[in-house]
Homo-oligomer: A and B are copies of this chain.
């Protein structure tokens, strides 16, 4: 078994000093084209990979980002996974690896990873309106980027979908189709109770857009269990006047809802238009492909990493002008499919 290759081996093989190899590797000072090439050749030939621990120790940067995943029930696992994938891919493009933490470890976990220099910064998913970790994140000696929008984002860097605009987009689409009466089927009550910001923001957007467009809107939190949706649908459609447009912001509801509508003999979109707020693939593969606003998990992940990398750089050199903004909200994109149609 060949012994491990180190930087001195590369240096000797290329006929230069170790520091030159180091500088060639991380470009912190100019290297002549000729030597750089010899060094690169040696690196490839010997199969050299710098020892991560030694690098972290000497350089005070681990080149690792920590990703804090939610673990509580009720989170949308496919979205979480796509997000994580995007974080990893983007981090790699910037020469960083990703350490996976669960929300379970909580504040101690953050502190442990920060203090042990295992990671240079944090991407924190599933941030609650009044998240317990916020004070720590503000105080930590390592930068972080949050996914989600807490009540007070001051001093933090947050990225999220603009859920309010998403709610507005749904209603505006329905308004354009001539609908006058819409209902929002929202997240389960516990999601609102938990203080997750996005549920509320969608509801606000729906209400605001309805107001602006002269529509009537009602908001209905709805549990995810199979029984809840049919009951709610019957109640909604039994009202007089009944809504002719539905905005659905609860993935787990989509299936039961479709069943319930079919059972009631309600045709989509002829009798009822439905706009969903859900991942694209789910909207596409529904029996009636759904007009939807998607949660752009991949873009969110990429953006979060890029902001974090930016903050890492800003720590070293005195900030070159642009500090990371406190809040970045990505604009929603509505895709029209087959579940919405003009009223009547």
**Does residue A270 face the partner (Cβ distance < 8 Å to B)?**
no
Top 8 closest A-B pairs, CB basis? A53-B56, A49-B115, A77-B78, A53-B57, A49-B116, A52-B118, A53-B53, A77-B81
- Tell me, in angstroms, the Cα distance from A77 to B297 when the chains sit together: 13
Nearest chain B CB to A182 CB, angstrom units: 26
For chain A, the count of residues having a C-beta within 8 Å of the partner chain is 57
Q: Copies of this chain, how many?
A: 2
**Does residue A256 face the partner (Cβ distance < 8 Å to B)?**
yes
0 or 1 for each of A44-79: is its CB under 8 Å from B? (1 = yes): 000111111111110000101001010100000110
Determine if A100 and B102 form an interchain contact, defined as CB atoms under 8 angstroms apart.
Answer: no
Determine if A141 and B1 form an interchain contact, defined as CB atoms under 8 angstroms apart.
Answer: yes
**Does residue A215 face the partner (Cβ distance < 8 Å to B)?**
no
**Does residue A85 face the partner (Cβ distance < 8 Å to B)?**
yes
- Tell me, in angstroms, the Cα distance from A78 to B115 when the chains sit together: 32
Given A51-B117, A224-B285, 4 more contacts at CB 8 Å?
Answer: A50-B116, A97-B99, A97-B118, A99-B100
Determine if B99 and A98 form an interchain contact, defined as CB atoms under 8 angstroms apart.
Answer: yes
Determine if A117 and B52 form an interchain contact, defined as CB atoms under 8 angstroms apart.
Answer: yes
Give 8 pairs: A residue, B residue, CB < 8 Å, sorted on A.
A1-B141, A5-B115, A51-B57, A57-B57, A69-B81, A69-B85, A88-B100, A262-B262
